[in-house]
Chain A
């Protein structure tokens, strides 16, 4: 959010000239050239986060000069750094700078450069890294950028075994159900009911003619 001033002071003691950023501007436009948003970037405060749709284009222009009012220079390193703080993914995109220090960068989401890292719903922090063999280096935090979420990078097949795997519980077959004991008792009684019929019949025979039932009485 804030410039890194401490090394600037150190650099001032090391070398006279330091790199600085002049008149940074950004423009977000749709494919049919309507401008959605356009502004200059303040170097003291980050603007509201920028959002790009799947077909929008972001254009960034700025100039690199030698100290605040000096002439334009072409530094060795002019990199835009896209960094996702939550996932740690990072992409570095070099920006072409003219010998007069003027630079222009265009990001077309319809054909994004390979340097854009995989994105999620979290924003990318965009910063500008300037380095030179003859001037003191500089780094500027520009803005936060929301891009459409990308596919996640392909995982190595062994990657899952290096983390905790989901627990698996076995579903057992349901316990064997048996009918209520009461019902079994009724049917057992039904099975034994012919005995009652037999006893009834024997008593009936005894009533008719006692002699017929001698065998029963003898056994008793």
Chain B
């Protein structure tokens, strides 16, 4: 039955328009999770053109890497309760996948697994083991661990207007690193605890008074958090796997209406798999005003024009399109420390081009044009072009200064005087020449 389903799905993908240009995804699915229960999520991915390959955590094939080369472009780890994996999946191998530009989507759980310690490496602080997130608000018929969470509209990753999503799992606290991208925060009334009855309220208060990390509560906790690495690969840690399931995508909210789970997980998957907010620098060039070629070196006080061309990836056409939407790009002209930092505004009329004109400092040395743009959720843009700046050559200084007129006058008049004297001396007769001179002949 599953084979027939997957055959049908692959047939459908062959006929539908492929949006993601057939990226390969490996889904490590725990055998305790039923693949049919996640059909909305996986079906949505396949409809967007991803090739999904499924395996269990303990299977040795298909391996995620072969001799260090990743076999898949993206990996989904839906094995939140598994404590032991096959040899190819270790926290170290997952980190090396990220440095090879493979993106990861990882589901965590209240249980302590190797994935929990991997999350800690990304500045996510997990709560004590076996303390799931519970919330008594709003009043509902579902158990306290199944919580509807409002989605804030401030993240650039999510489309605005997503209804509340159902969540079951563990929260985490966010470290201070700016490379973390919070996607979903816990509701203010929720907290992490393993209690099941009112009698445990004293234990809650004592736990918080103990000091250390105290009580895990409030909206400062994260439930789904992303992390963008230095090589622009992305990883998302979700506090629970149930929010991806069909059951939660169709469960009615306590205030009525359908939940936003399907929309939310689609947006999250689109960001992790580099469909959204993916930018790159196509080219940078620099030259003097009035020229078009980059010179081998600049002179101090030159007027320099710097242009950067930036594109964004468009998933609908699977191509890179020029992107002029960055309004806070900055250029630094640096020699050990930035000497000049200006904004690099987009050129109106030229999509994707950002240009600025500035005057080179009057210090000579080896400078760099540094473009370093980092914002939460977007790819990092980094570019560095080294260029020498030399002082003016001996004949580039201003000549014939007015202050030198006395010297010109002196030099010329000395030469003229010498010439005049020599001419008069040679031309003049000596009076009273002796007759002797004529006798000699």
Q: Which residues of A contact B (CB under 8 A)?
A: 7, 10-11, 14-15, 73-79, 81, 83, 89-97, 114-115, 129-134, 136-137, 139, 153-156, 158-159, 161-162, 164-170, 172-173, 178-179, 181, 184-185, 187-192, 194-195, 215-216, 218-219
Contact = CB atoms under 8 A, between A and B. Distances in A.
B413 interface: yes
A162 B408 CA distance: 59
Given A92-B188, A164-B330, 19 more contacts: A76-B195, A76-B198, A76-B201, A77-B136, A77-B189, A89-B220, A92-B191, A94-B208, A97-B201, A114-B211, A134-B198, A137-B138, A153-B176, A165-B330, A169-B340, A184-B405, A184-B406, A187-B405, A218-B427
Contacts, number: 168
Interface string B400-422: 01111110111001000100000
A79 B72 CA distance: 47
A115 B216 CA distance: 11
Contacts of A136: 139
A201 B201 CA distance: 120
Contact of A131 (B136, B211, B408, B410): B136
Q: Which of A92, A178, A190 gathers most chain B CB within 10 Å?
A: A92
B205 A96 contact: yes
Given A76-B136, A79-B191, A136-B139, A167 B301 contact: no
A167 B342 contact: yes
A170 B340 contact: yes
Nearest to B198: A76
Nearest 9 pairs of A and B residues by beta carbon: A131-B136, A92-B217, A11-B139, A187-B406, A168-B341, A188-B405, A188-B409, A137-B136, A92-B218
B196 A133 contact: yes
Contact of A191 (B140, B191, B406): B406
B413 A161 contact: no
Contact of A158 (B178, B413, B424): B178
B112 interface: no
B178 A178 contact: no
Interface in B213-235: 214-215, 217-220
Given A10-B254, A159-B178, A215-B428, A172 B405 contact: no
B139 A10 contact: yes
A34 B169 CA distance: 48
Contact of B188 (A90, A137, A188): A90
A219 B429 CA distance: 12
Interface stretch (B50-58, B87-95, B347-355, B368-376): B368-376
A215 B198 contact: no
A168 B361 contact: no
A161 B372 contact: yes
A78 B201 contact: yes
Given A74-B201, A137-B137, A162-B374, A131 B254 contact: no
